[in-house]
Structure 1
Amino acid sequence: MKKLKYPFLILAVSSVLFYCKANKQTSAGQTSTNTSAVEDSKIDFSQSPFVSAEASISKMKVEDGFEVKLVASEPLVSTPVAMLFDDKARMWVVEMTGYMPDTIGTGEDVPNGKIVILTDKNKDGVYDDRKVVIDSLVLPRAICLIDNGILVAEPASLWFYELNNDKALKRQLVDDKYAEGGNVEHQPNGLLRTLDNWIYNSKSDKRYRKIGDKWVVEHTHFRGQWGITQDNYGRVYYNTNSQNLIGDYFSPGFGAMNKNQRGVAGFNEKSVTNNKVYPIRPTPGVNRGYMKNILDDSLRLNEFTAAAGPVVYRGDLFGRVYEWNAFVPEPSANLIKRNILKENGYVTKGEQAYKFKEFLASTDERFRPVNLYNAPDGSMYVLDMYRGIIQHKTYLTPYLKDQIGKRGLTQPLASGRIYKIVPKGAKPQMVTIPTDPGLLVKLLGHPNGWVRDNAQQKLIDSKSTQAIPALRAALQQTENPLFAIHALWTLEGLHALKTEEVIGILNQPNWVIRMQGLTAVPSVITKDNFTQFASAFDQILVRNDTLAAPYLAFLAPFIKTYDSKASNDLLKKLTVKYPQNRYVSDAVISNLQDQEEAFQKEITASVGDPNFAFNKQLQRAIANAKSAQGNRNPELLKKEFPKGEALFTSICQTCHGIDGNGVKSLAPPLNQSDWVTGSKDRLIPIVLFGLTGPVKVNGHVYQAPEINGDMPGIGYDKDMPSEDIAQLLSYIRKSWRNNADKVTTEEVVRMREKLSKREKAYTEAELNGI
């Protein structure tokens, strides 16, 4: 029940002959710049030949003043999907070797995935040594180095391996449900260790932290699809496949406590709303390329369909104009998008850097940038899976299968490239992370964000308590706010942050410093000091610190632990003071799970106008709570329709939500949907062949960007049993507040036979005619 547009969506270009200008290969064959140019020669775009990494670089067109350099390629690396640098500037790379060996996924469950270390031994910028650290993994997807060990995401589990001299020793199960449900294109990933010392994920609502020998798992907002990054202040950014960039305005650990809210203002916000892309080659083979407006008149993709792992550039190499820039790869269009972000208080919005062009684009169809990273030398690294076909079998249409067969796009498989983008002529040097605590503290003020992050993590992982005096001094200095911010969070990670330090920060005139102090409150608040914080919060209210107001609401539950009345009073004061502020309103409501109506009665006298933003948003939460009370028992349905429940969990849930109410930016609700509970003759074709939006559900028209425009069918898979599809539909028609009759296996079989020649998704108009 999900759309066909995914992070690994791959082109299957038609056999029509197209022409455009070709990039000229540089003399060295290893860098590409705009000056290396587009010559007036013809390229046959009906072919997608496998070419060397040097030849692939020559097909790239990059922004003026920049060049692309190869740092690793096959056979040194294969199928890279994620990576990170260690203290020695070595690359730890996740190789998803087993992904889609052919169009039916033969052998995809073979344990051939690896975690490898790549080293540049002669320091010439090209990595030349490979060491396998962990092998025999099934489709690994993310890693995180922490505390002399490594986290490895191998669905469905998250493991922590102890390391000794680059050897993986015993492993500890951190979460056996890390990637429960979903399929390979829709499972958690990222494992981003952020400023606040927690580890966050995309396509997930969980965060992780190692405290002593134990792992703590907490729930946060559900975020993204493939890839996750952070800015200098620890706010996270991500996307879905058809969204350029999505982000959180507030620190990522707050505001996810009320299950009756279907979104909290300031989280999952569209940081960049413009989803246009500008390929430099025809891309007619995208999954819905035959449909109107997917391609332009020159058969090039119009908008994102496979947005992948973004990065907020935080290096010190590109220059000031690239500060607060976010880059997003689009593997289906063989390009990398540049966006420019701007702050207005806690709101961060951006625009595309260019019209009608990209920061980097390629005419090589097999160039598949899937993840971007900041680096120890200030450059930006690009992971390229370098494959012709990566679309997963779950969503592979007959159209794509046909193109793959005609064009031989399946092979070769064991390829992959890693590039870095640098200013033209630059010779940046890798910064390594020392062990000396004094040197590490100094690096917390380094202009390269990667260096600051890793110096902080090194101090924490090595438990460098001897650095605490220097960290306190750094916290007090005002010349370099980023130095102070990293000092604060290093103290927090060492469990050395003091009450008076945090309260002092809450009074700082610089908002970005105050923001960090507010975020750090949960780490230091106790039964012995909560009254000091409650008093400090009242002072913030008195001085009308609008920027801090949502944070005060997010912090109310930490006061409530020790004094329920004080917490409730704080929420009432915020509501009365800011009834029209949607961010404050939602932050207040995030505290009120199943207490919404009681709180409404308490504040009606002061905030009685139903047009106030607070009342409108509170009323939605009340309605959601009442709706949830009428939901049917999921455990009973699971017993009745076990195959249907399993299919829903693996295919539908990630977009439509576990509660059936839809996921913001992804899909409309199934709960009480007239499409679900209505005619079987309309519902079965949707599940078999998919639906292209817009679509009206219960009187509301859902279309992009409120949702992604397409939902893929699962009937293209001839091996999918009709009995299982019938169970899925019956499960959905009986779940939540739905109470429609079952769908039989015979009904699905008849519809599959009737529509056996169908090869494209339905539109609402077509279905209404059935």
Structure 2
Amino acid sequence: MKKLRYPILLIALAGTLFYCKSNKQSGTSLSATSTTEVPKTEPEQTDFSKSPFLTAEQSMKKIRIEDGFAIKLVASEPLISTPVAFSFDNKGRMWVIEMTGYMPDTVGTGEDVPNGKIVILEDKNRDGVMDDRKVFLDSLVLPRALCLIENGVLIGEPTNLWFYEIKNDKPVSKTLVDDKYTEGGNVEHQPNGLLRAMDNWIYNAKSSKRYRRKGDKWLIEQTHFRGQWGISQDNYGRLYYNNNSQNVLSDFFMPGLGATNKNQRYVAGFNEKSVANNKVYPIRPTPGVNRAYMKGVVDDSLRLVDFTAACSPLVYRGDIFGSAYESNVFVAEPSANLIKRNILNDQGYVVKGEQAYKGKEFLASTDERFRPVSLYNAPDGAMYIVDMYRGIIQHKTYLTPYLKGQIDKRDLTQPLSAGRIYKVVPKNTDPKAPALATDADGLVKLLSNKNGWIRDYAQQALVDGKMKQAIPALENAAKQTTNQLLAIHALWTLEGLDALKTDEVLALLKQSSWPIRMEALAVLPSVINEQTVKQYSSALSQMVTQNDTLSAPYIAFLANSVKPFDKAAANNLLVSVAKKYPGNKYVADAVISNLQDNEDIFKNELTASLPDSNALIQKQLGKIIAQAANARANRDPKVLLKEYPKGAALFNTVCQTCHGPDGNGVKSLGPPLNQSEWVTGDKNKLISIVLFGLTGPVKVNGHIYKTPEVSGDMPGIGYDKDMPSEDVAQLLTFIRKSWRNNGDKISTEEVASTRKKLTNRQKAFTVEELNGM
């Protein structure tokens, strides 16, 4: 049972390399637009009954951008087609993913054809526009993510994550890193991103895995499940992401912490709504969203009201926009043809913010085919935009008859071979990327650059090159106090080189600057061992005694790293921090993250010194203990998997994204299926919901679920004519018998019968309609 109005990934995942007539249609002279800013906006468009294919230059005229900024063309068809993501290399070239096979038409014909590519774009004449194309890899099926690292590149091609060694811009070997990289979820809901974060791990959106290369081996660890399409980091290495209906979600703490208790479904400080306002302000009617016929989805002028395809949140870390834009978070919304700006502020370890404007956007277009799907920082300090430029962005699984009608009405299917990359710069400027050092001394100097992309590059190049000769300079950089960002990058570069010394880290833990202490705390899991555990546990204990409130959640998280070497010291840290901050939800959840299957023992121990049963930490412990007991009472999923294999597969690809693998629902997405009266009750109601969707709010076990706690609308899968009724029947039976549910079987005939009765159904059901059955 799935998601809502316009799953975000779908947008960011499009493409088709049908080199159609557009090669001639869109023959914009690349050099002609290389140094020209976006042409003056045309007079306001009033006729939106058509959405003609426009050349890049024509489309640029439809864009309105914030005063003081300009948009420039970097690449367009025929040089690229259906781009969804890219990465810069150290030569300033773009490694672009072309997702050629995504939705060639409204029924997804040929989606499994291996026609995706990884291409290298280069600006050989240095005029600011890419003018050379080289195919690095072809014959891929819906490739979705890449990451340049060491002597090669990671590429996500469902279901696998591959590492290709590179020599002379060609793949020379291929290593399977993870054969379950995209296990579960359909094309709209599969891992992506491959972000090399400050802590030297590689993180993903729509995933709970992180990756790291050590020698010739790849490490894979579990972390928090994050986001949907696109992921970025701030200057301190904290991660930012979102789902299709949420503006900005983020981690308040460093990403490697707190994902260690399987009984704990949510950990305060992770997956937090940093910007809760989800309003959007398109400058054209947007009837081409999947549920535009529903009340509240579009306003009286047919413009989208709230995010429905939010994706690729980008923390701007460039150096050319000005101080007001530092660490602003930009979010793409391709279904509404716009990019939103958000302003965030730190309040201790909490990161919260608001939209930059009310009633308008940083950038918006009246061209319906303008589809910004990915945003990036860059070597020149600009913000880069990947525009998939196409009509269809909704996957066939959730394509309603209404939206098919919109596609037909404005002839949005063709062409499919377009795609553009733009960059946003301050008006009347032409920023150029500096020459990037490749030697150790030069790279260490770049760690102090004002441009975050360049600092990240320098850190990664030093680590990838295993440049031990840089260690003395890095140690000096980590000690200095005049440039915090230099010190932070130097610290993590030393971590990446396995060169951190205990005395250095202990000194950083005593610094008055919170960002420096925060990074020193975050690096501890890499340096705590049998020889150093006493020094580090003593330092952490001292921080508790000294009332270092900001450090308290980190100290609780870090007890998990102390425990393998000194269980008593770890437990003492947990008890002391829990007693000192019994009402702090972040500390409480950080403590509990250490206690898998020992929550009741710790609760009894804590009660001896903290008898107040109303203390927040006591309540949280009680809640987790109850959840763990419920989980132990669940049915064995392996038995159901054997009995209903098609149902289990469909659940993994369509339902678990929003309702969770444990059936207990996912925050901001979907309500629980486990012990839901809608699942175990009336068969006809359940069949109707799964086939054609449900519009909230909905009451489950006495609790009313509505936005923003969950998505406001769950799309059905019955619009997909190719979906066999047998598979739907197995899915429904699977969830009716999973976890603690004990519903009876639903037959293929029952699904087929309901499907026939509802054959002309155009919209999702409401609770009132279902109750009237």
What's the CA shift for 1:9? Answer: 5.8
1:618 aligns with: 621
Q: 542, 554, 575: which one pairs with 1:572? A: 575
The alignment status of 1:36 with 2:40, answered yes or no, reads: yes
* Distance in 2 separating the partners of 1:254 and 1:558: 10
What's the CA shift for 1:405? Answer: 2.5
The alignment status of 1:356 with 2:356, answered yes or no, reads: no
1:630 aligns with: 633
What's the CA shift for 1:31? Answer: 8.2
1:60 aligns with: 63
1:494 maps to a residue whose letter is: L
* Distance in 1 separating the partners of 2:189 and 2:443: 38
Q: 213, 218, 232: which one pairs with 1:210? A: 213
1:669-748 → structure 2 map (5 Å cutoff): 669-748=672-751
Query: Unaligned stretches of 5+ in structure 1?
Result: 12-26
1:126-137 → structure 2 map (5 Å cutoff): 126-137=129-140
What's the CA shift for 1:96? Answer: 0.3
* Distance in 2 separating the partners of 1:104 and 1:515: 50
The alignment status of 1:470 with 2:473, answered yes or no, reads: yes
* Distance in 1 separating the partners of 2:95 and 2:383: 16
2:40 maps to a residue whose letter is: S
* Distance in 2 separating the partners of 1:541 and 1:414: 59
1:512 aligns with: 515
* Distance in 2 separating the partners of 1:189 and 1:432: 30
* Distance in 1 separating the partners of 2:551 and 2:261: 21
* SS of the residue 2:219 aligns to: strand
1:311-330 → structure 2 map (5 Å cutoff): 311-330=314-333
* Distance in 2 separating the partners of 1:29 and 1:431: 22
* Distance in 2 separating the partners of 1:6 and 1:646: 19
1:280 maps to a residue whose letter is: I
What's the CA shift for 1:408? Answer: 1.8
Between the two proteins, what is the percent identity of the paired residues?
68
Indicate if the aligned counterparts of 2:154 and 2:162 stay in contact, CA closer than 8 A. yes
Indicate if the aligned counterparts of 1:31 and 1:68 stay in contact, CA closer than 8 A. no
* Distance in 1 separating the partners of 2:305 and 2:450: 37
Q: 177, 182, 201: which one pairs with 2:180? A: 177
* Distance in 1 separating the partners of 2:611 and 2:750: 53
The alignment status of 1:406 with 2:433, answered yes or no, reads: no
2:6 maps to a residue whose letter is: K
Indicate if the aligned counterparts of 2:238 and 2:255 stay in contact, CA closer than 8 A. yes
What's the CA shift for 1:433? Answer: 2.4
1:48 aligns with: 51
The alignment status of 1:415 with 2:418, answered yes or no, reads: yes
What's the CA shift for 1:431? Answer: 2.4
Give the alignment's TM-score, normalised by structure 2. 0.96
Deviations 1:332-353 (A, max 9, x none): 0000000000001110011000
Query: Unaligned stretches of 5+ in structure 2?
Result: 13-30
After the TM superposition, which segments of 4 or more aligned residues of structure 1 sit over 6 Å from their partners? 27-35
What's the CA shift for 1:35? Answer: 9.2
2:588 maps to a residue whose letter is: S
What's the CA shift for 1:10? Answer: 6.8
Q: 146, 150, 155: which one pairs with 1:152? A: 155
Of stretches 43-52 and 608-617 in structure 1, the one that deviates more from structure 2 is 608-617
* Distance in 1 separating the partners of 2:721 and 2:94: 41
1:343 maps to a residue whose letter is: D
* Distance in 2 separating the partners of 1:8 and 1:451: 28
Q: 115, 120, 139: which one pairs with 2:118? A: 115
1:44 maps to a residue whose letter is: D
- The alignment of Structure 1 onto Structure 2 pairs a total of residues equal to 754
2:95 aligns with: 92
Of stretches 747-756 and 208-217 in structure 1, the one that deviates more from structure 2 is 747-756
1:36 maps to a residue whose letter is: K
Indicate if the aligned counterparts of 1:29 and 1:55 stay in contact, CA closer than 8 A. no
What's the CA shift for 1:55? Answer: 0.6
Give the direction of change, closer, same or farther, for the CA distance of 1:136–1:281 in structure 2 (3 Å limit): same
Deviations 1:198-222 (A, max 9, x none): 0000000000000000000000010
What's the CA shift for 1:398? Answer: 1.3
* Distance in 2 separating the partners of 1:374 and 1:132: 24
Deviations 1:171-211 (A, max 9, x none): 10000000012111000000000000000000000000000
Q: 216, 223, 235: which one pairs with 2:238? A: 235
* SS of the residue 1:310 aligns to: strand
* Distance in 2 separating the partners of 1:581 and 1:480: 32
* Distance in 1 separating the partners of 2:331 and 2:409: 31
2:230 maps to a residue whose letter is: G
The alignment status of 1:5 with 2:13, answered yes or no, reads: no
1:15 aligns with: none
Indicate if the aligned counterparts of 1:33 and 1:66 stay in contact, CA closer than 8 A. no
* Distance in 2 separating the partners of 1:663 and 1:33: 43
1:480 maps to a residue whose letter is: N
Indicate if the aligned counterparts of 2:35 and 2:127 stay in contact, CA closer than 8 A. no
- What RMSD, in angstroms, separates the aligned Cα atoms of the two structures? 1.4
2:15 aligns with: none
The alignment status of 1:456 with 2:459, answered yes or no, reads: yes
Give the direction of change, closer, same or farther, for the CA distance of 1:83–1:9 in structure 2 (3 Å limit): closer
1:591 aligns with: 594
Give the alignment's TM-score, normalised by structure 1. 0.96
Indicate if the aligned counterparts of 1:34 and 1:62 stay in contact, CA closer than 8 A. no
Indicate if the aligned counterparts of 2:34 and 2:127 stay in contact, CA closer than 8 A. no
What's the CA shift for 1:43? Answer: 3.6
